[in-house]
Amino acid sequence: MAAPPIRRTRDATPPPAASGHPAAVARPIFIALDLGTNNCRMLAARPDPRGGFRVVDSFSRITRLGEGLHESGRLSEAAMTRTIEALRVCARKMARHRVAGTRMVATAACRHAANTEAFLHRVFTETGLRLEVIPPNEEARLALAGCSPLLRAGTQGAVVFDIGGGSTELMWVAADGARDGPTHRPRIVDMASLPLGVVTVAEARGGDLCDASYAAVKGDVLAALAAFDARHGIAERLASGDSIQMLGTSGTVTTLGGVMLDLPRYDRDSVDGLEVDFISIQAVSRRLRHMSCVERAHHPCIGGERADLVVSGCAILEAICDMWPVGRLRIADRGIREGVLMDLMGAAEASA
């Protein structure tokens, strides 16, 4: 009898959750903000004396800051206005807390836009928030720091990726990272940033990809992955029997996880840490590709804001799976924000 296509693993550090313990009230709060090409996300948390942290506040909104950037090279007025409105909400939330440390990072859209400096000045003037534009290697490091508890011990390496709006960050991670109790600190051997994300692909080829366009996107991604693979011989190692794992963190993989589970609404606790096989990924990708944009918009785990982007993400994901046929993918609904929080809390603990 065939193995079930989906496995929900329980051996990872559980996702952060709210805490109402009286002793937690006195502890200071740290805040991480991640402004991407498609989303604005904020997480406020306090250290948990048992390890990790406890979330006390959060915010997430699709703002499409990078809309039109592929063609114009600039952030549009409408996109900046939408994003600043979301950042105002974040600023109001921050003002409610006794904040011990904060870091607010911006990624691909702000790295590439010609008018980023004007946008950052406007953000500070209108919200009081100072955004830091980080390079791809820092983005990848933070993403890995946030999701590393989901990496398993006992393998020869891991492919870790984050399919973003404007780019896809890719890491080859060694299995010899230090492990200190429940904390795993994997070692990044190499990383790459591909100029292919769900927004850039959708704007270049459209949200409803025909079979030919879908195959063309996969071909573009495979070509972009070739040099990275050649540097480390990952596909060759797989073929020779090495045990390699794959971990994905992005709206694409979490959305697919929710669709695979047939959830009535997206649930982070059900998706974070989920393991799915590549056959199921192909089946769900095909199903989504053959749905209309309206049909995808009505799906409770997709919605109107992702309906025209998810197929592009599926093409990128399938290409990664084709390049490295590990067989199973572990999904992480965590990443940059969690990595920022771990950095902030670690630095505060060291200084104390």
Separation CA 7–CA 261 (nearest Å) = 10
Separation CA 293–CA 199 (nearest Å) = 15
Mean pLDDT of all residues in 210-223: 94
**CATH H superfamily, domain 6-136+337-351:** ATPase, nucleotide binding domain (3.30.420.40)
Tokens of 257: 């996880």
Tokens of 286: 């095909």
Per-residue DSSP letters for 237-258?
HHHTT--EEEEE-SHHHHHHHH
At 16-33, the pLDDT tens digits run 444 444 444 457 899 999
Separation CA 155–CA 151 (nearest Å) = 9
Mean pLDDT of all residues in 138-150: 90
At 277-293, the pLDDT tens digits run 999 999 999 999 999 99
Per DSSP, 114 falls in state T
Let me know if 6 is exposed, middle or buried by CB neighbors in 10 A (0-12, 13-18, 19+).
middle
Mean pLDDT of all residues in 45-65: 91
* pLDDT score recorded for residue 57: 95
Angle, CA 292 vertex, CA 166 and CA 222 arms, to 5°: 40
Q: What is the pTM of this model?
A: 0.83
At 314-341, the pLDDT tens digits run 999 999 999 999 999 999 999 999 999 9
At 31-40, the pLDDT tens digits run 999 999 999 9
* Mean residue pLDDT across the chain: 88
Per-residue DSSP letters for 317-333?
HHHHHHHS--SEEEE-S
Closest-CA residue to 75 (of 126, 118, 128, 43): 118
Question: What are the residue ranges spanned by the domains of the chain?
Answer: 6-136+337-351, 152-336
Instruction: State the architecture of 152-336 in CATH terms.
Output: 2-Layer Sandwich (3.30)
Q: Inter-axis angle of helices 116-127 and 77-95, to 10 degrees?
A: 40
Closest-CA residue to 51 (of 287, 349, 351): 349
49-58, 97-106, 127-136, 242-251: the lowest-pLDDT one: 49-58
Separation CA 201–CA 199 (nearest Å) = 5
